[in-house]
Structure 1
Amino acid sequence: MNKLLAQIAKFGVVGVICFIIDYVIYRIFNAGFEAVGFDNVFPQYYLISGFIAFTVSVVANYILSFKFVFERKEDMSRKKEFIIFVILSAIGLGINELCLFVGFDLIYKNWSWLNGIMSASFAKDVFFKFGATGVVMVYNFITRKIFLEKKD
Protein backbone atom coordinates (compact mmCIF):
# COMPACT_ATOMS: atom_id res chain seq x y z
CA MET A 1 0.00 0.00 0.00
CA ASN A 2 2.85 2.41 0.82
CA LYS A 3 4.40 1.65 -2.57
CA LEU A 4 1.12 2.53 -4.30
CA LEU A 5 0.79 5.79 -2.34
CA ALA A 6 4.38 6.74 -3.19
CA GLN A 7 3.69 5.95 -6.84
CA ILE A 8 0.52 8.05 -6.82
CA ALA A 9 2.49 10.93 -5.27
CA LYS A 10 5.20 10.67 -7.96
CA PHE A 11 2.50 10.44 -10.63
CA GLY A 12 0.97 13.59 -9.16
CA VAL A 13 4.27 15.49 -9.34
CA VAL A 14 4.85 14.37 -12.94
CA GLY A 15 1.23 15.25 -13.68
CA VAL A 16 1.63 18.76 -12.27
CA ILE A 17 4.77 19.33 -14.36
CA CYS A 18 3.05 18.07 -17.50
CA PHE A 19 -0.09 20.04 -16.70
CA ILE A 20 1.98 23.22 -16.48
CA ILE A 21 3.49 22.42 -19.88
CA ASP A 22 0.02 21.67 -21.27
CA TYR A 23 -1.63 24.71 -19.72
CA VAL A 24 1.02 27.24 -20.72
CA ILE A 25 1.01 26.03 -24.34
CA TYR A 26 -2.82 25.98 -24.32
CA ARG A 27 -2.99 29.59 -23.11
CA ILE A 28 -0.29 30.77 -25.54
CA PHE A 29 -2.10 29.28 -28.53
CA ASN A 30 -5.49 30.59 -27.36
CA ALA A 31 -4.02 34.08 -27.01
CA GLY A 32 -2.38 33.80 -30.43
CA PHE A 33 -5.55 32.61 -32.13
CA GLU A 34 -7.55 35.40 -30.48
CA ALA A 35 -4.94 38.02 -31.43
CA VAL A 36 -5.17 37.16 -35.14
CA GLY A 37 -8.97 36.84 -35.11
CA PHE A 38 -9.05 33.08 -35.68
CA ASP A 39 -11.65 32.81 -32.91
CA ASN A 40 -14.10 34.63 -35.23
CA VAL A 41 -13.48 32.15 -38.05
CA PHE A 42 -13.44 28.98 -35.92
CA PRO A 43 -15.19 29.46 -32.55
CA GLN A 44 -13.85 26.14 -31.23
CA TYR A 45 -10.25 27.32 -31.75
CA TYR A 46 -9.49 26.31 -28.16
CA LEU A 47 -9.84 22.66 -29.22
CA ILE A 48 -6.88 23.13 -31.60
CA SER A 49 -4.95 24.77 -28.75
CA GLY A 50 -5.88 21.83 -26.53
CA PHE A 51 -4.70 19.32 -29.14
CA ILE A 52 -1.31 21.00 -29.61
CA ALA A 53 -0.72 21.46 -25.88
CA PHE A 54 -1.82 17.95 -25.01
CA THR A 55 0.45 16.44 -27.69
CA VAL A 56 3.55 18.25 -26.39
CA SER A 57 2.74 17.31 -22.80
CA VAL A 58 2.33 13.62 -23.75
CA VAL A 59 5.96 13.43 -24.89
CA ALA A 60 7.15 15.00 -21.63
CA ASN A 61 4.83 12.70 -19.69
CA TYR A 62 6.18 9.58 -21.41
CA ILE A 63 9.76 10.48 -20.54
CA LEU A 64 9.03 11.47 -16.94
CA SER A 65 6.59 8.62 -16.25
CA PHE A 66 9.08 5.90 -17.05
CA LYS A 67 11.96 7.72 -15.41
CA PHE A 68 10.19 8.37 -12.09
CA VAL A 69 6.80 6.63 -11.77
CA PHE A 70 6.33 3.30 -13.52
CA GLU A 71 8.56 0.23 -13.75
CA ARG A 72 8.98 -0.88 -17.33
CA LYS A 73 7.89 -4.35 -18.40
CA GLU A 74 11.08 -6.20 -19.25
CA ASP A 75 9.38 -8.32 -21.91
CA MET A 76 7.98 -5.32 -23.82
CA SER A 77 9.99 -3.47 -26.46
CA ARG A 78 10.31 0.29 -26.08
CA LYS A 79 8.63 0.68 -29.48
CA LYS A 80 5.58 -1.32 -28.36
CA GLU A 81 5.57 0.52 -25.02
CA PHE A 82 5.59 3.90 -26.77
CA ILE A 83 2.85 2.86 -29.20
CA ILE A 84 0.63 1.71 -26.32
CA PHE A 85 1.43 4.92 -24.43
CA VAL A 86 0.48 7.03 -27.46
CA ILE A 87 -2.75 5.06 -28.03
CA LEU A 88 -3.75 5.46 -24.38
CA SER A 89 -2.81 9.14 -24.57
CA ALA A 90 -4.87 9.59 -27.76
CA ILE A 91 -7.87 8.20 -25.91
CA GLY A 92 -7.02 10.60 -23.07
CA LEU A 93 -6.89 13.43 -25.61
CA GLY A 94 -10.35 12.45 -26.82
CA ILE A 95 -11.62 12.51 -23.25
CA ASN A 96 -9.92 15.90 -22.70
CA GLU A 97 -11.41 17.43 -25.86
CA LEU A 98 -14.84 15.97 -25.09
CA CYS A 99 -14.77 17.42 -21.57
CA LEU A 100 -13.78 20.86 -22.93
CA PHE A 101 -16.45 20.79 -25.64
CA VAL A 102 -19.24 19.51 -23.38
CA GLY A 103 -18.23 21.85 -20.58
CA PHE A 104 -17.86 25.03 -22.59
CA ASP A 105 -20.01 24.66 -25.71
CA LEU A 106 -22.85 22.59 -24.33
CA ILE A 107 -23.02 23.54 -20.66
CA TYR A 108 -21.55 27.05 -20.28
CA LYS A 109 -23.05 28.51 -23.44
CA ASN A 110 -26.51 27.07 -22.72
CA TRP A 111 -26.83 27.56 -18.97
CA SER A 112 -27.25 31.31 -18.68
CA TRP A 113 -26.87 31.33 -14.89
CA LEU A 114 -23.23 30.22 -15.35
CA ASN A 115 -22.58 33.38 -17.38
CA GLY A 116 -23.49 35.35 -14.27
CA ILE A 117 -20.93 33.65 -12.04
CA MET A 118 -17.95 33.23 -14.39
CA SER A 119 -16.64 34.81 -17.56
CA ALA A 120 -16.34 32.84 -20.78
CA SER A 121 -12.56 33.10 -20.53
CA PHE A 122 -12.52 31.72 -16.97
CA ALA A 123 -14.93 28.93 -17.93
CA LYS A 124 -12.87 27.89 -20.96
CA ASP A 125 -9.34 28.51 -19.72
CA VAL A 126 -9.63 27.54 -16.06
CA PHE A 127 -12.82 25.85 -14.87
CA PHE A 128 -13.42 23.31 -17.64
CA LYS A 129 -9.70 22.94 -18.48
CA PHE A 130 -8.88 21.96 -14.89
CA GLY A 131 -11.91 19.65 -14.76
CA ALA A 132 -10.89 17.93 -17.99
CA THR A 133 -7.34 17.55 -16.68
CA GLY A 134 -8.57 15.88 -13.49
CA VAL A 135 -10.67 13.36 -15.40
CA VAL A 136 -7.81 12.53 -17.78
CA MET A 137 -5.31 12.24 -14.93
CA VAL A 138 -7.34 9.47 -13.26
CA TYR A 139 -7.78 7.71 -16.62
CA ASN A 140 -4.02 7.95 -17.34
CA PHE A 141 -2.93 6.49 -14.01
CA ILE A 142 -5.30 3.54 -14.19
CA THR A 143 -4.61 2.64 -17.83
CA ARG A 144 -0.83 3.00 -17.59
CA LYS A 145 -0.78 0.89 -14.46
CA ILE A 146 -2.85 -1.83 -16.18
CA PHE A 147 -1.23 -1.86 -19.62
CA LEU A 148 2.33 -0.60 -19.21
CA GLU A 149 3.65 -1.30 -15.73
CA LYS A 150 5.61 -4.35 -14.76
CA LYS A 151 3.52 -6.62 -12.55
CA ASP A 152 5.00 -7.62 -9.19
Structure 2
Amino acid sequence: MRKLIEQLVKFGVVGLIAFLIDWGVLNLLVIFAHMNSVAAGIISFLVSLAFNYLASMKYVFKHREDMAQWMEVLIFFISAAIGLLINVIILAGFTFGLILGTGRYVLFTNIGKLVSALVVAIWNFVIRKWLLDDTHTHASNRLKPADKRLSRDELDTKWEHSFSHRLGLWSLAHTPKGWR
Protein backbone atom coordinates (compact mmCIF):
# COMPACT_ATOMS: atom_id res chain seq x y z
CA MET A 1 0.00 0.00 0.00
CA ARG A 2 2.91 2.35 0.76
CA LYS A 3 4.30 1.82 -2.76
CA LEU A 4 0.91 2.64 -4.30
CA ILE A 5 0.66 5.85 -2.27
CA GLU A 6 4.22 6.83 -3.29
CA GLN A 7 3.34 6.13 -6.91
CA LEU A 8 0.13 8.15 -6.66
CA VAL A 9 2.09 11.09 -5.21
CA LYS A 10 4.66 10.91 -8.03
CA PHE A 11 1.85 10.61 -10.58
CA GLY A 12 0.18 13.62 -8.98
CA VAL A 13 3.34 15.75 -9.14
CA VAL A 14 4.01 14.84 -12.78
CA GLY A 15 0.32 15.35 -13.57
CA LEU A 16 0.24 18.73 -11.84
CA ILE A 17 3.24 19.97 -13.82
CA ALA A 18 1.71 18.61 -17.04
CA PHE A 19 -1.59 20.29 -16.13
CA LEU A 20 0.14 23.63 -15.55
CA ILE A 21 1.81 23.34 -18.97
CA ASP A 22 -1.53 22.36 -20.54
CA TRP A 23 -3.47 25.10 -18.74
CA GLY A 24 -0.86 27.78 -19.48
CA VAL A 25 -0.69 27.02 -23.20
CA LEU A 26 -4.51 26.78 -23.36
CA ASN A 27 -4.96 30.22 -21.80
CA LEU A 28 -2.24 31.80 -23.94
CA LEU A 29 -3.98 30.53 -27.06
CA VAL A 30 -7.53 31.41 -25.95
CA ILE A 31 -6.79 34.83 -24.43
CA PHE A 32 -4.01 36.18 -26.64
CA ALA A 33 -4.52 34.32 -29.93
CA HIS A 34 -8.36 34.32 -29.60
CA MET A 35 -8.38 30.66 -30.54
CA ASN A 36 -11.41 28.40 -30.12
CA SER A 37 -11.20 26.46 -26.82
CA VAL A 38 -11.35 23.05 -28.50
CA ALA A 39 -8.52 23.81 -30.94
CA ALA A 40 -6.47 25.44 -28.19
CA GLY A 41 -7.25 22.49 -25.90
CA ILE A 42 -5.94 20.01 -28.47
CA ILE A 43 -2.70 21.96 -28.94
CA SER A 44 -2.13 22.48 -25.20
CA PHE A 45 -2.93 18.82 -24.47
CA LEU A 46 -0.37 17.62 -27.03
CA VAL A 47 2.32 19.98 -25.70
CA SER A 48 1.81 18.72 -22.14
CA LEU A 49 1.64 15.12 -23.36
CA ALA A 50 5.29 15.16 -24.44
CA PHE A 51 6.37 16.21 -20.94
CA ASN A 52 3.94 13.77 -19.32
CA TYR A 53 5.26 10.78 -21.28
CA LEU A 54 8.91 11.46 -20.49
CA ALA A 55 8.33 12.22 -16.81
CA SER A 56 5.84 9.38 -16.24
CA MET A 57 8.06 6.71 -17.70
CA LYS A 58 11.09 8.03 -15.82
CA TYR A 59 9.63 8.80 -12.38
CA VAL A 60 6.25 7.09 -11.99
CA PHE A 61 6.01 3.76 -13.81
CA LYS A 62 8.67 1.06 -14.01
CA HIS A 63 9.58 -0.54 -17.33
CA ARG A 64 8.27 -4.07 -17.63
CA GLU A 65 10.77 -6.67 -18.77
CA ASP A 66 7.91 -8.69 -20.27
CA MET A 67 6.84 -5.88 -22.63
CA ALA A 68 8.56 -4.33 -25.62
CA GLN A 69 9.20 -0.62 -25.33
CA TRP A 70 7.33 0.09 -28.58
CA MET A 71 4.21 -1.42 -26.96
CA GLU A 72 4.65 0.80 -23.88
CA VAL A 73 4.78 3.85 -26.16
CA LEU A 74 1.78 2.64 -28.17
CA ILE A 75 -0.30 2.05 -25.02
CA PHE A 76 0.73 5.43 -23.61
CA PHE A 77 -0.28 7.29 -26.77
CA ILE A 78 -3.51 5.36 -27.36
CA SER A 79 -4.57 6.07 -23.77
CA ALA A 80 -3.53 9.70 -24.32
CA ALA A 81 -5.63 9.87 -27.51
CA ILE A 82 -8.64 8.65 -25.52
CA GLY A 83 -7.76 11.24 -22.86
CA LEU A 84 -7.63 13.90 -25.57
CA LEU A 85 -11.07 12.85 -26.80
CA ILE A 86 -12.42 13.12 -23.24
CA ASN A 87 -10.76 16.55 -22.96
CA VAL A 88 -12.30 17.79 -26.24
CA ILE A 89 -15.79 16.55 -25.35
CA ILE A 90 -15.72 18.21 -21.94
CA LEU A 91 -14.27 21.51 -23.26
CA ALA A 92 -16.81 21.60 -26.09
CA GLY A 93 -19.61 20.89 -23.63
CA PHE A 94 -18.55 23.68 -21.29
CA THR A 95 -18.19 26.31 -24.03
CA PHE A 96 -21.02 25.29 -26.38
CA GLY A 97 -23.07 28.31 -27.39
CA LEU A 98 -20.77 30.87 -25.74
CA ILE A 99 -19.25 33.76 -27.67
CA LEU A 100 -15.52 33.44 -28.35
CA GLY A 101 -13.37 36.11 -26.71
CA THR A 102 -15.73 36.99 -23.87
CA GLY A 103 -14.89 36.73 -20.19
CA ARG A 104 -17.59 34.09 -19.77
CA TYR A 105 -16.02 32.02 -22.56
CA VAL A 106 -12.60 32.13 -20.86
CA LEU A 107 -14.16 31.28 -17.47
CA PHE A 108 -16.08 28.29 -18.82
CA THR A 109 -13.03 27.15 -20.79
CA ASN A 110 -11.03 27.09 -17.55
CA ILE A 111 -13.77 25.31 -15.59
CA GLY A 112 -14.02 22.75 -18.40
CA LYS A 113 -10.24 22.30 -18.35
CA LEU A 114 -10.26 21.63 -14.60
CA VAL A 115 -13.05 19.05 -14.93
CA SER A 116 -11.41 17.36 -17.91
CA ALA A 117 -8.01 17.33 -16.17
CA LEU A 118 -9.51 15.44 -13.22
CA VAL A 119 -11.39 12.93 -15.40
CA VAL A 120 -8.39 12.37 -17.69
CA ALA A 121 -6.00 12.00 -14.72
CA ILE A 122 -8.13 9.20 -13.28
CA TRP A 123 -8.37 7.54 -16.71
CA ASN A 124 -4.60 7.82 -17.27
CA PHE A 125 -3.61 6.40 -13.89
CA VAL A 126 -5.97 3.44 -14.09
CA ILE A 127 -5.06 2.42 -17.64
CA ARG A 128 -1.32 2.98 -17.20
CA LYS A 129 -1.23 1.18 -13.85
CA TRP A 130 -3.08 -1.75 -15.39
CA LEU A 131 -1.12 -2.05 -18.63
CA LEU A 132 2.25 -0.32 -18.19
CA ASP A 133 3.44 -0.68 -14.61
CA ASP A 134 5.56 -3.62 -13.48
CA THR A 135 3.36 -4.42 -10.52
CA HIS A 136 4.05 -8.15 -10.57
CA THR A 137 7.74 -7.89 -9.74
CA HIS A 138 7.09 -5.42 -6.94
CA ALA A 139 4.14 -7.36 -5.50
CA SER A 140 6.01 -10.66 -5.62
CA ASN A 141 9.01 -9.15 -3.82
CA ARG A 142 6.82 -7.61 -1.09
CA LEU A 143 4.75 -10.72 -0.44
CA LYS A 144 5.42 -12.03 3.06
CA PRO A 145 5.01 -15.72 3.93
CA ALA A 146 2.46 -14.72 6.57
CA ASP A 147 0.28 -13.07 3.89
CA LYS A 148 -2.79 -15.29 3.76
CA ARG A 149 -4.33 -13.66 0.68
CA LEU A 150 -2.11 -15.06 -2.08
CA SER A 151 0.97 -17.28 -2.07
CA ARG A 152 3.85 -16.52 -4.41
CA ASP A 153 2.74 -19.37 -6.66
CA GLU A 154 -0.84 -18.08 -6.75
CA LEU A 155 0.40 -14.57 -7.50
CA ASP A 156 2.64 -15.90 -10.30
CA THR A 157 -0.22 -17.95 -11.76
CA LYS A 158 -2.56 -14.96 -11.66
CA TRP A 159 0.11 -12.82 -13.37
CA GLU A 160 0.81 -15.46 -16.04
CA HIS A 161 -2.87 -15.41 -17.05
CA SER A 162 -3.35 -11.65 -16.91
CA PHE A 163 -4.15 -9.68 -20.06
CA SER A 164 -1.32 -7.27 -19.30
CA HIS A 165 1.33 -10.00 -19.15
CA ARG A 166 0.03 -11.79 -22.25
CA LEU A 167 0.01 -8.47 -24.16
CA GLY A 168 3.60 -7.87 -23.06
CA LEU A 169 4.75 -11.30 -24.19
CA TRP A 170 2.95 -10.84 -27.51
CA SER A 171 4.75 -7.51 -28.01
CA LEU A 172 8.12 -9.12 -27.37
CA ALA A 173 7.35 -11.92 -29.82
CA HIS A 174 6.32 -9.38 -32.47
CA THR A 175 9.14 -6.91 -32.05
CA PRO A 176 11.09 -6.43 -35.32
CA LYS A 177 14.68 -7.63 -35.32
CA GLY A 178 17.10 -4.97 -34.15
CA TRP A 179 14.54 -3.26 -31.91
CA ARG A 180 14.78 -3.56 -28.17
**TM score, norm. by length of structure 2:** 0.69
| C-alpha distance in 1 between matches for 2:50 and 2:19 | 12
Question: What runs of 5+ residues in structure 1 fail to find an aligned partner?
Answer: 40-44, 110-117
| C-alpha distance in 1 between matches for 2:128 and 2:94 | 26
Contact 2:37 / 2:92 at 8 angstroms: preserved in 1?
no
Contact 2:30 / 2:106 at 8 angstroms: preserved in 1?
no
Q: Look up the match of 1:31.
A: 31
| C-alpha distance in 2 between matches for 1:123 and 1:102 | 10
Identity %, equivalent residues: 36
Runs of 4+ in 1 over 6 A off after TM superposition: none
- C-alpha distance after superposition, 1:57-113 (max 9, x if no partner): 11111110011111111122222211111000000000011111122217xx5xxxx
**Backbone CA RMSD of aligned residues:** 1.6
In our comparison, the structure showing a higher alpha carbon Rg is 2
Question: What runs of 5+ residues in structure 2 fail to find an aligned partner?
Answer: 137-180
Contact 2:61 / 2:133 at 8 angstroms: preserved in 1?
yes
Shift of 1:31: 2.6
Shift of 1:32: 3.8
Count of residue pairs brought into register by the alignment: 132
AA matched with 1:137: A
| C-alpha distance in 2 between matches for 1:16 and 1:151 | 23
Higher helix fraction: Structure 1 or Structure 2?
Answer: 1
Confirm or deny that 1:122 pairs with 2:107: yes
